[in-house]
Amino acid sequence: MEEKLFENWEQLENSIRICKDCKLCQNRNKVVIGEGNKNAKIMFIGEGPGADEDIQGRPFVGRAGKLMDQAFKGIGIKREEVYIANVVKCRPPGNRNPEIDEMNACKKFLKSQIKLVNPEIIILLGSVATKEILGEEYSITKIRGTIIEKDGRIYLPTFHPAALLRDEDKKILFWKDLTKIPK
Q: What mean pLDDT is reported for the chain?
A: 95
CA separation for the pair 21, 9 (Å, rounded): 19
CA separation for the pair 84, 35 (Å, rounded): 5
Tell me the pLDDT tens digit for each residue of 128-182: 999 999 999 999 999 999 999 998 999 999 999 999 999 999 999 999 999 998 6
| The pLDDT of residue 183 | 58
Tell me the pLDDT tens digit for each residue of 110-143: 999 999 999 999 999 999 999 999 999 999 999 9
Specify the pTM: 0.96
